Amino acid sequence: TDRYAVIGNPIGFTKSPFIHGTFAKVTGQDLSYEAIEGPIGGFAARVDQFRAEGAKGLNITAPFKLDAFAYANELSESARRAGAANCLKFEGDRVIAENFDGIGLLRDITLNLGVKVAGRRVLMLGAGGAARGALLPFLRQDPSELVLVNRMLSKAVALAEEFAGRGPLIVSGYAELADLAEGYDVVINATSASLRGEMPPLPGNVFRGAELAYELAYGKGLTPFLQAARAEGVAKLADGVGMLVEQAAEAFSWWRGVRPSTAQVIAELTVPLS
Ligand code: ATR
C-alpha cells in the first residue's frame, strides 16, 4: 500500500483524505491517505520522517506551501511560477514540487461550471499566492483581458512585470476600477478577505453583466463577496470546493497515472450557497 498525506496546520477540517480515499476506491488504486498536523517551524523534519517511512507523495496546505517549495529539489513550471508548492512527489532522493491550485481553479470554471475564459474579460482580486498561481493557466486560455486588482498596488505591479508578454494582463487599484469597469464576464475573489468575513473594497458596478462570481474560499457559505454579486444579479455563484477537488484530481493523476472523475465527489462536498 503506497502512502500519501496532506500536511497543514491546523488540519482538522481537511477534506483531502475523503477526496483521495474516494478517488482510490473508484479507480481501484491501492493507497492510503492520511492527514498530518505539521509542527510550525518543523515542516522539513516532519516530511523527512514521512519519507523515511516510505511515503510516495504529499499535499500541502496552509501555512506550509512556501516550506514545501523550499524543501523540493525539482520544480515544475507551475510551482516555480507560483513560488509555492501544493503537491510533492517522492522518488528516492528526488522531491518534485507541483502546484495544481491554478489549474484546478481553471478546470472548475471551464469544465464544471461551463464558463468560457477564452475571449472573455476576467477580473481577479488579490495578488497573493492564490492569485499568483492562477495567472498563467488563465492567460493561456487567451482571455480578451485579465485585470488584476490589489489594495497594495505594488504587489500587483510586480506580478504584471513577472508575467509580461504572457497575455493581456492589466493592473488596477480598487478605486480606479470604477473607471475601468466596462463589464467583466468572470470575477474571481483570490483575496483572503472572506476568511475574516471581509469584503474587498469593490465598486458595485464590477458585477454588472457578469456571468460568474467565484470565491476561492470554500465552506464559508455566502461570503460578502458572493452576496454582493448576487445582489447585482450574477447568475452563477461558486465557492472553491470544485477547485479543491480538481486540484486533488490533478495530484492523483500525477502520482498514480490514472485520472479520477470529479463530479461525484464535488456533488458530495457541495453545500448550497444560501
Ligand atoms: P493567499 O496566499 O491566500 O493569496 P496572501 O499571500 O496573504 O494569501 O495574500 C492575501 C491577499 O488578499 C492579498 O492580495 C491581500 O491584499 P494586500 O496585498 O493589498 O494586503 C488580499 N486581502 C486580504 N484582505 C483583504 C481585504 N479585506 N480587502 C482586499 N484585499 C484583501
Question: Nearest C-alpha to atom 11 of ligand 1 is from which residue?
Answer: 191
- pLDDT band, residue 232 (cuts 50/70/90): very high
2-99 and 102-241 share one fold: yes
pTM of the full structure: 0.96
Structural element, H or E, at residue 244: helix 241-256
Which percentage of the chain shows pLDDT scores above 90?
91
> What are the Cα distances from residue 270, in Å, to 182, 239, 241?
32, 9, 7
pLDDT for 179 equals 80
Domain range list for the chain: 2-99, 102-241
Beta bridge partners of 90: 95
Residue 85, CB half-sphere, CA atoms under 13 Å: how many?
23
**Is 33 annotated as a binding-site member?**
no
- For ligand 1, say whether the CB of 192 is within 6 Å of any of its atoms: yes
Determine the distance from the C-alpha atom of residue 197 to the mean position of all C-alpha atoms in its chain, rounded to a whole number.
Answer: 19
**Pairing relationship of beta strands 2-8 and 186-189 according to DSSP bridges:** unpaired
**What is the atom index within ligand 1 of the atom nearest the CA of 150?**
19
- Residue bearing cell 528516492: 92
> What are the Cα distances from residue 252, in Å, to 104, 124, 149, 192, 257?
12, 27, 33, 26, 8
Task: Give the model confidence (pLDDT) of 118-132 as tens digits.
Answer: 999 999 999 998 999
Rounded-to-integer distance, Cα 128 and Cα 178, Å = 22
Rounded-to-integer distance, Cα 64 and Cα 44, Å = 10
Task: Output the average pLDDT for the chain.
Answer: 95
pLDDT for 273 equals 85
Catalytically annotated residues: 65
Question: Which residues have CB under 8 Å from 190's CB, separation 6+?
Answer: 124, 125, 126, 128, 130, 131, 134, 216
Domain 102-241, CATH = 3.40.50.720
Q: Of the ranges 15-29, 128-142, 165-179, which is most confident? A: 15-29
Task: Give the model confidence (pLDDT) of 143-170 as tens digits.
Answer: 999 999 999 999 999 999 999 999 999 9
- pLDDT band, residue 234 (cuts 50/70/90): very high
- pLDDT band, residue 181 (cuts 50/70/90): low
Question: Nearest C-alpha to atom 18 of ligand 1 is from which residue?
Answer: 152
pLDDT at 184 over 90: yes
- For ligand 1, say whether the CB of 133 is within 6 Å of any of its atoms: no
C-alpha angle with apex 112: 106 to 113, nearest 5 degrees? 85
- pLDDT band, residue 274 (cuts 50/70/90): confident
Q: The C-alpha cell of 167 is what? A: 497575455
Question: Nearest C-alpha to atom 21 of ligand 1 is from which residue?
Answer: 191
**What is the atom index within ligand 1 of the atom nearest the CA of 131?**
4
pLDDT for 254 equals 98
- For ligand 1, say whether the CB of 83 is within 6 Å of any of its atoms: no
Mean pLDDT, range 247-266, rounded to an integer: 98
Assign domain 2-99 to its CATH architecture.
3-Layer(aba) Sandwich (3.40)
Beta bridge partners of 91: 94
127 CA → ligand 1 middle, Å: 7
**Is 128 annotated as a binding-site member?**
yes
Q: Is the ipTM of this complex over 0.90?
A: yes
Helices (H), 100-195: 101-107, 129-139, 153-162, 174-180
- For ligand 1, say whether the CB of 194 is within 6 Å of any of its atoms: no
